[in-house]
Structure 1
Amino acid sequence: MTIQLRLQELIDALDVSVLEFARKLGERRGEKVYHILHGRLKPSYDTIEKILMAYPQVNADWLLRGEGLMFKILSSPSAAITTEERLRNVEYLLFQLNERMTVLQATNDQLLAELTALVRKGN
């Protein structure tokens, strides 16, 4: 999954508009974020840093590389993630598992086809 898709998922999970999201990052308009979402721009280091500062519950590993959960599970009660954020984490994990199952099924099908072809050549 690309960073653009992860950013869109984050905006959806936070239940904010692109404009609200951009304004929380210090942007007056949402053009920069729209350009990132549509692949016309790559997010800069400064933009990533602003996202992580504005939304401290966001897991940097997830945002940058798609690894782990979307939201951190923080120990501080004031920074605890909401039930909705926990549900988003579970949804994302299920999405990742489904993606992996699809890849494994395709690999299995390919191996089965190759094995069948080898058996036919041997007969």
Structure 2
Amino acid sequence: MARRNRLMLVKMIGAGLIFVVDSNDRERVNEAREELTRMLAEDELRDAVLLVFANKQDLPNAMNAAEITDKLGLHSLRNRNWYIQATCATSGDGLYEGLDWLSNQLKNQK
């Protein structure tokens, strides 16, 4: 379980799901895709909007948001609002932009 926690972090907020991916971990991005796919198939997440944080963008070999989008298969998601935001948790870069998007999506659902 500790290994998985280093790879990704997931948080449910209302009808929104935040999925955090280590953009620097190319070896386990397929594992992240499998976990995301499994989670999105769960009944309680059927209508959840998805925010993906592509974290660790400050590292030189980090995959950018477009590459993470491809690796996670986000374009294949149908009937689900999703957004990917490049982030650096240590500096806070991108966090507020992603949370603003999620907040707006949740407001529009009401």
Give 1 or 2 for the bigger CA radius of gyration: 1
Q: Judge same fold: TM > 0.5, yes or no.
A: no
The normalised TM-score by structure 1 is 0.27
- Normalising by structure 2, report the TM-score: 0.29
Q: Which has the higher contact order (CA 8 A, sep 6+)?
A: 2
Higher strand share: 2
